[in-house]
Amino acid sequence: MSDAAEQVEGQPEQMPDEDQMSDAERRKRRRERRISACRSAERVLARPGFLGTLRERLALLESAQDLYDLDEPSDIYGNGVVEALEEKVAGLLGKEAAAFFPTGTMAQQVALRCWAGRTGNPTVALHALAHPEVHERNAFSQVSGLRPVRVTGEPRLPTADQVREFEEPFGALMLELPLRDAGFVLPSWEELTEIVEAAHERDAVVHFDGARLWESTVHFGRPLDEIAGLADSVYVSFYKSLDGFGGAAIAGPKTLIDEAKAWRHRYGGQIFQQFPTVLSALAGLERELPRLPEYVAHARVVADALREGFAAAGVPWMRVHPERPHTNEFQVWLPYDPDVAAEAAVRHAEETGTVLFSDAWDPKGPGLAVTEVSVRAAGLEWTAEDVKAAVAEFVARLTEEARKQTDEQAKNAEVGDQPESSEQPEAGKEPEVSR
């Protein structure tokens, strides 16, 4: 999103003064500034492709001839290069077969619908923070006739005991790995193995929501096929970790995948041609997937430097969660109003050309803000000292914004305490408007 105002008949659109904006307008404007600052910044911890221009995005395919024979016929309704990607994904995940889908929302509904037909139970046990529960408008129940039930709402994966002792039967257990809204958290390998065993003891299948499963090998200390091998089926995304144009896949037994492809057609996912997205997925598997362990390792360097930087800057309390990041993404918590933290982050980016916090800040309680940090290729250039220096610059603006908010609150309180004037405007004369 561009930070420049739209042109109307050769004149820039007039934006309302800051004090005349509603909270929604102010946040929208701040988001535009944040995206503009991220696009133009000289230094960032991650530079996601989706913020690029069309020309920059198309450049991803400039070396496509190294990924697939471009003299082969283009795909039609899922053949050709689409089948090549499906075969590659199945091999990476150690599964019999895989099916490409235009979206993860569609892919997971289809996978779990197919399992419901096999188990005879449409109930899907999942976490309260799982992506379908929070971000997909109840698609499981509204579209696919599934019945989601919540095993836990704790900011971690469910335990094996919680799975064993859950009070009603379920046909499938869905595990989001990593659990993004809890802080990109993963269980230990031993815990994950026990959770899967507990579900199988109840004659339920296990499905991994592995949108970011690509990032988990460092934490588990296992290759992708061994991790995916614990589950009966797995979903993966091609843009969340791999920077593709979009797309997803599910992998599992061939009989399940054959049925899934039939349902893909019924759901409107049998798209005529998909080679640009598929080639971008192949590019991500070739170029980004091998680098993810390096990103994870450096995310831990950044996390340590953030803690040290905030302590040196005198911030009374902050938290990196998880304390030792499980992937190349993690949360930062600060004891400030989210609007204060967000404005300080945008100002820091605009005024220095360095982006420390590129995502939005969300409330997590009174005077408590949280944001997500991602470390990718661009972040590898940062040393721990670079991070600490950026923290010091950010905290200076954070302190200024907090002071402004305190002063504004005090001013508003004084106005609210003043008695209303009994004077009436003269007849025929408009009351004076505050300026």
* 256-267 pLDDT, tens digit each: 999 999 999 999
pLDDT confidence band for 423 (50 / 70 / 90): very low
Q: Is the model more confident about 153 or about 426?
A: 153
> Does residue 418 have a pLDDT over 70?
no
* 347-379 pLDDT, tens digit each: 999 999 999 999 999 999 999 999 999 999 999
**What average pLDDT score do residues 90-103 get?**
98
Q: What is the pTM of this model?
A: 0.90
Q: Is the model more confident about 20 or about 178?
A: 178
* 268-302 pLDDT, tens digit each: 999 999 999 999 999 999 999 999 999 999 999 99
Q: Tally the C-alpha atoms within 13 A of residue 41's C-alpha that lie toward its C-beta.
A: 30
Q: Which is it for the CA torsion 400, 406, 407, 408, positive or negative?
A: positive
pLDDT of residue 411: 84
Residue 173's nearest CA partner among 115, 126, 107 is 126
**What average pLDDT score do residues 318-346 get?**
98
Helix, strand or coil, per DSSP, at residue 122? coil
> Does residue 432 have a pLDDT over 60?
no
pLDDT confidence band for 337 (50 / 70 / 90): very high
Taking CA atoms, 240 is separated from 103, 210, 213, 435, in Å, by 12, 10, 10, 47
pLDDT confidence band for 5 (50 / 70 / 90): very low
pLDDT of residue 433: 37
> Does residue 167 have a pLDDT over 60?
yes
For the record, the structure tokens of 293 come out as 């362990």
Beta bridge partners of 172: 124, 205
pLDDT over 70 percentage in the chain? 91
- Neighbouring C-beta atoms of residue 282, cutoff 10 Å: 23
Distance CA 57, CA 90 (A): 26
**What average pLDDT score do residues 93-111 get?**
98
- Looking at every residue in the chain, the average pLDDT score rounds to 92
pLDDT confidence band for 428 (50 / 70 / 90): very low
Residue 359's nearest CA partner among 347, 370, 348 is 370
pLDDT of residue 14: 54
For the record, the structure tokens of 291 come out as 């680098």
**What average pLDDT score do residues 29-43 get?**
96
Q: Is the model more confident about 178 or about 415?
A: 178
